[in-house]
Structure formats: structure tokens, C-alpha cells
């Protein structure tokens, strides 16, 4: 087994769709069990009661998914002919897995020659199905990193934490991404107030659990805010004690980023060494400032430092100007901000103290409030670009023959 395939057992799988066609309730249950495995957070699994005929009808209407799994009680010439018909509606590289009734080496070789990726004999345990699908996806799509999005304020009081929490709800709710939210502030974190939970751990305990690879202990340190939003429930740290070192924090990130497609970190009150470590490796950075001279001066300096630690690259930074209209006579205009920073703002948020105070302990409510609708839409648009940008892929495998390619090559050889 290749190193790439080995990674399928312990990494977040790439975005893909899997269709399972079976008339056996145990097989369908095994397929549905994939939804409970963190590795499949980005994988859309569709379990359908039926066989090859139902697959043909479905793909004729909507097109094929990356992986097709078909269970059959009979594998004869009629079945293989129907597989040929099915291939007409498949894309190049589509992986087909057949679940059949008998363990037959000749049959296995025949199906592999047709372009079938694997042949399984029923009954199949959920663990076996998971591993087969995971390896097929890794083989075809490679190993993708999660998106690490860092939020940092030009200075204190610009609203970084509130905006981070709003974006976490937008990413997980409106955009339907499985999202993990972290606050690097230790005991100074306001996260538990805005998201409605009691801190269950401090950063030192979290770092020790990661170092010891104690997944059971780590599991108890999360708060499930919704089906798609998980929060690292830190914040029980003593406010005047030092937090973890940057290397420890990075180890925590390494552990968590193989479990969630989108990881958001609030750096507003983090130690400077932690800020630097996270900003240097984040896929996207969202910087928050206010339109005042002092805040913009800090913003300019921070933009320069971020560019320096990222090798002169600033394309992955988005600028949010918050609290516009608080004192218009003393504010820098959006045009002047863009010219002074040589960096145009992506989003401007009006000064709405009543709205932000109203939802201080229920940030999610701000998303549906009429007064915040305009800037919520702008934040969502900015965030969509941050999440959907291409992720670096590591060790992309050589593109294997798919179901369609195998069948075509077999037909040509006759």
C-alpha cells in the first residue's frame, strides 16, 4: 500500500460525493454510518435502495458521483452489460466498487479489467466500507489540507471577536461547512459568552492532551454549537498566568486541522508569538480595523509584518473596516484608507452599538437581524472566497484509470 493510501486512515478526506445502491438494509446502514466518521466531513454520501438499474436512472438524470457502489445478487453477462450502460453516464476517473455474493478470483479480475476499483463480498462491515472508500478517494483526489482562517485586529476594541464568531456561524450555517472555532486568548477569551457555553479546559490541558495523543480527553474539550459548528471550549485559564508556547499551539492546530474542513482562529488577545505562528501558516487572514487614524496606523504596520513573515505575500489578506459612522468628521474615508494602506477594504461595517450589544451573548441572532443584513451579506461574500480558494494539495497521486476509462479500453481491445 502506498504512503498516500496509508494517509486515508487518519486524515480528513477531500470533498467528494459517493452514491451507494443496495437492496440490503445492512449495507445501506453501513453507508449511512460514514456520516458519523470525522474523516468524511467533506464527503456527501447518498444511500439509495436499489441496484444497477436505479444507478443508471439516477446518473442519467443528474450525472455520476466520484464513487459509485453497487450491490448485486447476480454477476452475469446481463449485469456486466448494464455496467457498460452505466459507464455512459460516468465521468473520467469515476471509481466503481461492486459488492457481490461470492468470493471469486476470476470474477474479481474480470471486474478490475473493466475498470471497477474494487470488489467486496457481502456482508461488509462499516469499517471495511469506510477504508475502501477512503482509499479510493485518496487515490483519485489526493490529500487536501483544511482551510485555516485567522482573524486578527489592528488593535484592541475593533470588534475582532464578534466578527470571528459571526463568520463561524456563516461558514457552518449558511455555507454548510463543518467548522471548528478556536480562541487563542486563554483566560481573556469572550468566546464562551457569545457562543453560550461554559469553558471546560484551559490551553495547557488541551496542549497536554494533544502531546499525549489522548483523543478521549480531547473529545471532552469541545462544545458542539450545532451540527456543523464545533468550538474548542477553552477559556478556563487564569487570566494573569502565561498561556502555551507557540510550538504547543501549533501542535494543537496540527491535531485539529485533520478533523475539520474549516478552522477559524480568533487571535485578538493572543500572545504575540502565537499570533506570529498562526499568521505565518494561515491560508486566509481577515484583519479588522476601525476607520480612525490610530487604528489604521497599527493596521499598516501589521500588514507590513504579515507580508514579511509570509515572504512578501499579501493576496490572502482581507480587510474589514468596522464601526464606520461612529464619528464621521474624524474618520478616514474608504477611498483614503485604500490609498494610504495600498490595500482596499473588502467589507465596511456600520457602527451599530445597539445591535452588537443586543446579541453580545447570542451572536448567531445577529445573522437574521434586519439591521445587520447588509453587512452580513458582505461578510458572507468575503468569507465564501476565503473558504473556496484552492487548497494546497500534497503528494497528488498519478491519475488512475476510472470506471469509464476501463470500460472504453476494454471495448477497444475487442
pLDDT digits (tens, 9 = 90+) for 43-98: 889 999 999 999 999 988 887 788 999 999 888 888 888 888 888 888 777 888 99
| Per-range mean pLDDT, top range of 13-17, 67-71, 115-119, 238-242 | 67-71
Q: Return d(Cα 52, Cα 17) in angstroms, integer.
A: 18
Instruction: Give the CA distances from residue 102 to residues 53, 127, 134, in Å, rounded to whole numbers and listed in that order.
Output: 21, 20, 23
**Distance in angstroms (rounded) separating the CA atoms of residues 71 and 253:** 40
Q: What is the pLDDT of the chain when averaged over all its residues?
A: 84
Quote the cell numbers at residue 234. 477553552
CA distances from 173 to 41, 119, 121, 229, 324 (A): 14, 38, 39, 8, 27
| The pLDDT value given to residue 33 | 87
The CATH topology of domain 3-143 is Rossmann fold (3.40.50)
- pLDDT computed for residue 402 by the predictor: 57
Judge whether 3-143 and 146-391 match in fold. Answer: yes
pLDDT recorded at residue 403? 57
pLDDT at position 197, please? 87
Tell me if 51 sits within 8 A of 79, measured CB to CB.
Answer: no
DSSP state of 371: G
Residue 414 is predicted with a pLDDT of 39
- Identify the band that residue 10 occupies on the pLDDT scale cut at 50, 70 and 90: low
> What is the predicted pLDDT for the residue at 342?
85
Q: What are phi and psi of 33, to 5 degrees?
A: -65, -15
pLDDT of 11 reads: 67
- Cβ atoms 259, 219 nearer than 8 A: no
What single string gives the DSSP state of each residue in 296-315? Answer: HHHHHHHHHHHHHHTTT--T
Taking a C-beta distance cutoff of 8 angstroms, is the pair 134, 8 a contact?
yes
Record: fold of 146-391: Rossmann fold (3.40.50)
Q: In which band, very low, low, confident or very high, does the pLDDT at 164 lie, cut at 50, 70 and 90?
A: very high
Distance, in Å, from the CA atom of 54 to the CA atom of 67, rounded to the nearest integer, reads 15
Mean pLDDT across 307-319 = 87
CA 76, 95, 97: angle at the middle one, nearest 5? Answer: 40
CA distance 300 to 191: 27
Least confident of 32-41, 65-74, 216-225, 282-291: 32-41
Domain ranges within the chain, ordered by starting residue: 3-143, 146-391
Q: Is the pLDDT of residue 142 over 80?
A: no
Candidates 105, 101, 73, 72; CA nearest to 86 is 72
Express each pLDDT in 165-214 by its tens digit.
999 999 999 898 889 999 988 888 888 888 888 888 888 889 899 888 88
What does the CA dihedral 251, 189, 231, 153 come to, rounded to 10 degrees? -80
Give CA 72 to chain center in angstroms. Answer: 34
Please tell me the predicted confidence (pLDDT) of residue 253.
87
DSSP state of 172: I
Q: pLDDT of 253-284, one tens digit each?
A: 888 887 788 999 999 989 899 999 999 889 89
Amino acid at each position: 500500500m502506498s504512503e498516500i493510501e496509508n494517509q486515508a486512515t487518519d486524515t480528513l478526506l477531500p470533498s467528494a460525493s459517493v452514491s451507494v445502491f443496495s437492496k440490503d438494509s445492512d449495507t445501506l446502514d453501513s453507508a449511512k454510518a460514514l456520516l458519523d466518521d470525522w474523516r468524511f466531513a467533506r464527503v456527501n454520501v447518498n444511500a439509495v435502495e436499489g441496484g444497477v438499474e436505479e444507478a443508471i436512472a439516477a446518473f442519467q438524470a443528474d450525472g455520476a458521483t466520484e464513487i459509485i457502489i453497487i450491490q448485486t445478487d447476480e454477476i452475469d453477462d446481463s449485469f456486466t452489460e448494464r455496467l457498460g450502460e452505466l459507464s455512459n453516464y460516468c465521468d473520467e476517473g469515476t471509481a466503481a466498487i461492486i459488492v457481490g455474493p461470492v468470493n471469486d478470483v476470476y470474477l474479481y479480475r474480470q471486474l478490475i479489467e473493466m475498470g471497477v476499483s474494487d470488489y467486496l463480498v457481502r456482508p461488509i462491515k462499516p469499517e471495511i466500507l469506510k477504508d475502501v472508500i477512503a482509499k479510493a478517494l485518496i487515490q483519485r483526489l489526493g490529500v487536501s489540507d483544511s482551510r485555516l482562517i485567522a482573524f486578527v485586529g489592528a488593535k484592541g476594541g475593533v470588534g475582532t471577536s464578534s466578527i470571528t464568531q459571526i463568520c463561524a456561524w456563516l461558514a457552518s450555517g449558511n455555507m454548510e461547512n463543518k467548522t471548528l472555532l478556536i480562541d487563542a486568548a486563554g483566560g481573556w477569551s469572550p468566546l464562551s459568552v457569545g457562543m453560550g457555553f461554559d469553558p471546560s479546559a484551559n490551553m495547557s490541558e488541551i496542549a497536554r492532551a494533544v502531546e499525549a495523543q489522548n483523543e478521549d480527553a480531547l473529545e471532552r474539550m469541545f462544545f458542539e454549537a450545532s451540527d456543523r459548528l464545533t468550538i474548542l471550549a477553552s477559556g478556563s485559564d487564569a487570566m494573569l498566568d502565561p498561556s502555551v508556547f507557540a510550538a504547543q499551539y501549533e501542535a494543537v492546530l496540527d491535531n485539529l486541522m485533520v478533523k475539520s474542513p474549516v478552522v477559524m482562529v480568533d487571535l485578538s488577545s493572543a500572545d504575540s508569538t502565537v499570533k506570529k505562528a498562526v499568521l505565518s501558516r494561515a491560508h486566509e487572514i481577515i484583519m479588522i480595523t476601525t476607520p480612525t487614524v490610530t487604528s489604521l496606523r497599527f493596521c499598516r504596520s501589521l500588514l507590513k509584518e504579515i507580508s514579511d513573515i509570509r515572504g512578501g505575500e499579501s493576496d490572502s489578506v482581507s480587510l474589514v473596516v468596522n464601526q464606520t459612522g461612529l464619528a464621521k468628521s474624524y474618520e478616514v474615508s474608504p477611498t483614503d484608507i485604500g490609498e494610504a494602506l495600498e490595500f482596499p477594504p473588502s467589507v465596511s461595517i456600520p457602527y451599530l452599538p445597539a445591535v452588537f450589544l443586543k446579541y453580545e451573548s447570542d451572536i448567531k441572532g445577529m445573522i437574521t437581524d434586519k439591521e445587520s443584513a447588509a453587512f452580513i451579506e458582505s461578510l458572507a461574500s468575503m468569507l465564501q472566497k476565503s473558504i473556496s480558494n484552492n487548497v494546497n494539495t500534497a503528494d497528488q497521486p498519478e491519475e488512475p484509470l476510472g470506471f469509464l476509462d476501463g470500460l472504453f479500453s476494454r471495448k477497444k481491445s475487442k
